[in-house]
Amino acid sequence: MKASVLVRPRSVEVESRPLPELEADEVLVRISAVGVCGSDVHYFNEGRIGDFVVKSPLVLGHEAAGTIVAVGTAVNPGRLGERVSIEPQRPNPHSKQTLAGAYNLDPSMEFYATPPVDGAFMEYVKIQSHFAFAVPDEISDEAAALMEPLSVGIAAMQKAQVTPGARVLITGAGPIGIICAQVAKAYGATEVIVSDLNGQRREKALHFGADRVIDPMSTDMVNLGLDVDAFIEASGATPALQSGIRNVAPAGRIVLVGMGADEVALPISLIQSKELVVTGIFRYANTWPIAIDLVRTGKVDLDSLVTGVYGLAEVPQALLNSTKPESMKTIVRPGV
């Protein structure tokens, strides 16, 4: 099979590789679509994200979908030909975190496109059968792949405890911010406010259901007094985090989603006096069935987020174009 391999920062080559050999509980998936994530771009440009360092050639891409073409000996052969969305994780089933239901926090997690584990910018991948989720015919290949970033939005709303009637502030109208806005509305939020520096992205947020958008360059965010129930920081920008916290009502929740600076100054006295809850999310757990239902029922639109489709040989261009302000979700199709 063909695989698009990061051989060094900013250098990707298409190589020929053998098909993966299946363990008893695994399935082989012919990849139909893979979304490009910001983490892929970080690895492409810098060769690392924090403590995760690319030390040998690596296949990027973890937002994946395809069709099951082979199954391990412990898997029902009736799954052959099934269209699936892949949850790209392999936790240790015996870890304390996995047994507690938070398998995403398993320290020994093997995750697609996180060194040294290869991702899905190739023609075939293997995954444990229980992490290959069947998708109905009305869901496109692209949407099936984008269940992964949708799961990030679901995890964020769960952490934020968004319920009917909630007011939510989201900073950052990139793909994750837009998805978070859609999920917030699906979870019953009555007002979703989105801020972003870029006018095009603010318009996108309105198109995807935001009730109000804010230009932080022309608005005094610190003294806006929104008093929202939940604040989702999806930009990674320190000023957005610092000003957003000041717009959270007492007992509100702040969820850090965007990848930003390792350390920032926070208004501790404000957090204490308002009893604010500040937390992060690290990937997701048990979100795929929810994601599939949100898309199937039309509560979340993933197809309209797609702004470019590329083949395996065009992965470098796909990675570069995904960072443009007008880009939302870029898709790699190995079969193109």
Spell out the domain ranges in the chain. Answer: 2-146+302-332, 153-280
Say how many C-beta atoms besides its own lie within 10 A of residue 225's C-beta: 9
Got the DSSP string for 228-240?
A: EEEEEE-S--HHH
In this prediction, residue 336 has a pLDDT band, given cuts at 50, 70 and 90, of: confident
Please state the length of the chain: 336
178-212 per-position pLDDT tens digit: 999 999 999 999 999 999 999 999 999 999 999 99
CATH homologous superfamily of 2-146+302-332? Medium-chain alcohol dehydrogenases, catalytic domain (3.90.180.10)
In this prediction, residue 177 has a pLDDT band, given cuts at 50, 70 and 90, of: very high
Strands 83-86 and 48-49: unpaired
C-alpha closest to that of 10 among 52, 43, 48: 43
Beta bridge partners of 83: 67
26-49 per-position pLDDT tens digit: 999 999 999 999 999 999 999 998
Q: Are 150 and 300 in contact (CB under 8 A)?
A: yes
Q: Between 3.40.50.2300, 3.40.50.720, 3.30.360.10, 3.20.20.80, what CATH number should domain 153-280 receive?
A: 3.40.50.720
At residue 279, the 3 state secondary structure works out as strand
Say what the pTM is. 0.97
Q: Are 30 and 123 in contact (CB under 8 A)?
A: yes
Say how many C-beta atoms besides its own lie within 10 A of residue 314's C-beta: 18
